[in-house]
Chain A
Amino acid sequence: MKPSEQSIVTKNLTKKYGTFTAVDAISFDVRKGEIFGFLGANGAGKTTAMRMLTGLSKPSSGEATVAGFDVYRDAENIKKHIGYMSQKFSLYQDLKVKENIAFYGGIYGLRREALQAASDQLIHRLGLQGEVKTMVKDLPLGWKQKLAFSISIIHQPSIVFLDEPTGGVDPVTRRQFWNMIYEAADRGITIFVTTHYMDEAEYCNRVAIMVDGKIEALGQPSELKVRFETDTMDDVFYQLARKAKRGD
């Protein structure tokens, strides 16, 4: 495989806080346009790993490149080429829908015409034409979540990081949300998503399961189910998570 086809490459990526090793020498590649699931119990190190890849936190050791940029030297360049949606809801509640789009589009460098076009397209796709002037705090949670995702990819990043994006959302909205993820992936955006929901793991092209800071299993969901001799990802996860020593 040529390196240019890879979005994320990590090798022995490690993060230590004092004597505690939050992420312990993880190595994996994520291909362009892939939907890559990152699973693990609370405290397994998913969020820490993601923070290193998004440039929020400096690794203790190991190597990683994201969108071709090194996480040590080029963190600022990485930020220009990724999108991010955190588990905490990150739109401004006291700004209108349109203002949020303009703000985030603006800080990712979209200029007037491009911003206008992207904004119109986004509103149209979400069917939010009637809500352009609504405060975000007055939108139903499902819409907020979809809006947050759309905004996180408004600048056409090559990768988008989603940190437990569907927490607290009803099943119908979750379904719609995943449809949006597929659409984004079809447009060539690499998706890196952490989740608790094992049925969502089935939607991913490949998944990595983290236990106690290490990647214990990596592969396509179907592959993993065969390897662990079971029918569900739930069971795969359960078999691995049982071995965990650290809890929440």
Chain B
Amino acid sequence: MSNLSIILKKEFIQISRDPAILRLIFLMPIIQLLILPFAADYEIKNINIAIVDQDHSDYSRELIGKFQHSNYFRLTGYETSYKNALKLIEADKADIIVEIPNNFEKTLVREDEATISLVANAVNGTKGNLGAFYAQRIVQEFNSKIRSEWIQFPRVNPIPLINVEYINRYNKRSDYQTFMVPGILAVLITMIGSFLTALNIVKEKEIGTIEQLNVSPIKKWEFILGKLIPFWVLGMIILTIGLVISYIVHGITPGSNLWILYVFTAFYLLAILGIGLLISNFSQTQQQAMMVSFFFTLIFILMSGLYTPVESMPFWAQKVAWMNPVTYLVDVMRMVLLKGAQFADVLGHLKIITLAGVALNVLAIWSYSKRN
């Protein structure tokens, strides 16, 4: 047996005996992939709406009915004054107030024009914006209906019209979970790879066994490989578990080019393990290693395009985002799982991540000194 296989054997035995790690390996993907996609649902629905109807006309009642029947809104208040409705917003019981003024119906018919006021709680900007947008759409639909009742349209449109036909690819049901799942899986693999590697090596430092190994004839590269390979294998296992969960729970079918994902992840893990190794080299205690990993992981995740699109960042931040390995995995996961990308489509990413992996590991091995 070579030194490497001896170290590997020891690492695998230790991992298989550590209940914390085992729990982490099986529970993390399950919790994160089962609960997080439901929680991380930015799809705006169930918007609470309060209506102030001062008109009490047929039109106002009809419009309110439209809101009630929409999938987006939930009528949570029917108030007589704006002041009362505002209280509902303050208590977070309403997100949007729709105020139909006195004489709304009369004004509309006599003056060809009437105004409804709409107030949205925009503390959460996306929600306020989209909520208002949906509400406006309902009013517009209602408007067209009224118009068509009053005017008999000739055969050709009286007003010029540009129709836009939308074809949404890759996520036909416009399902937010479908969008989130591959990204979450990418983060999961990253966290397992960096956290566990860093903690594992620092633990040997804390216990003192690392010194025992340092006076032995084990070579630097043997020790480091012995540490990296088990976590590389763990990462691949997590990928597999994650894919199975995404298929069963979220119905994401990987398709025939799944091997691309495995190849890419295999190289990606090298880079991530290198980061874990680097962190462990600069930490003395597990607490430190964890704080430092947590710090970087959080920045990596925020900058990865998982929650906010990379394209929306200013130019400099996009540059930073494309220096972040997580960005690449998130992108490749989405490309392969959702868009059915071919190998040629991810080749560019693969080259960069491999280069990064080599650089990070060289740096890590160089900074891991057997002598100090």
Contact = CB atoms under 8 A, between A and B. Distances in A.
Interaction A to B? yes
A90 B214 CA distance: 12
A99 interface: yes
B14 A94 contact: yes
Given A56-B211, A58-B371, A107 B13 contact: no
Contacts of B18: 94
Nearest to A79: B217
Given A76-B217, A107-B217, A112 B211 contact: no
Nearest to B208: A88
Nearest to B220: A76
A62 interface: no
A93 B209 CA distance: 10
Given A90-B208, A106-B9, 12 more contacts: A56-B370, A56-B371, A58-B371, A86-B208, A88-B207, A92-B14, A93-B207, A102-B6, A102-B9, A103-B10, A106-B1, A161-B215
A111 B5 CA distance: 12
B152 interface: no
A55 B372 CA distance: 10
B342 to A, nearest CB: 45
Contacts of A112: 1
Contacts of A109: 3, 217
B6 A90 contact: no
A92 B219 CA distance: 19
A95 B1 contact: no
Interface on chain B toward A: helix, strand, loop, or mixed SS?
helix
A55 B218 CA distance: 12
Interface in B159-214: 207-209, 211-214
Contact of B13 (A57, A89, A99, A161): A99
B14 A57 contact: no
B145 interface: no
Contacts of A91: 209
A84 interface: yes
Nearest to B210: A90
Interface residues of B, number: 25
B1 A80 contact: no
A107 B11 CA distance: 13
Nearest to B18: A94
Interface string B347-372: 00000000000000000000000111
B7 interface: yes
B151 to A, nearest CB: 82
A237 interface: no
B17 interface: yes
Contacts of B214: 56
A95 B211 CA distance: 17
A97 interface: no
Top 10 closest pairs, chain A to chain B, by CB: A88-B208, A106-B6, A90-B212, A84-B215, A80-B217, A79-B217, A54-B215, A103-B10, A90-B209, A107-B216
A75 interface: yes
Given A94-B17, A94-B18, A95-B14, A57 B207 contact: no
A84 B212 contact: yes
Which of B7, B9, B10, B215 has most chain A Cβ within 10 Å?
B215
A123 to B, nearest CB: 18
Contacts of B1: 106, 111-112
A107 B371 contact: no
B372 to A, nearest CB: 6
A149 interface: no
Given A58-B371, A90-B209, A93-B207, A103 B6 contact: yes
Interface in A58-117: 58, 75-76, 79-80, 82, 84-86, 88-95, 99, 102-104, 106-109, 111-112
Contacts of A102: 6, 9
A232 B13 CA distance: 49
A57 B1 CA distance: 29
Of the candidates B14, B17, B208, B212, the one having the most CB atoms from chain A within 10 angstroms of its own CB is B212
Nearest to A82: B215
Interface string B209-234: 10111111111000000000000000
A91 B216 CA distance: 13
11 contacts: A55-B215, A57-B372, A58-B371, A84-B216, A86-B212, A88-B211, A94-B17, A104-B216, A106-B6, A109-B3, A109-B217
B17 A92 contact: no
A157 to B, nearest CB: 10
B10 A79 contact: no
A79 B372 contact: no
A21 B10 CA distance: 39
A109 B371 CA distance: 21
B10 A92 contact: yes
B215 A107 contact: no
Nearest to A109: B217
B3 A107 contact: yes
Contact of A107 (B7, B14, B211, B370): B7
A82 B215 CA distance: 8
A73 to B, nearest CB: 13
Nearest to A92: B209
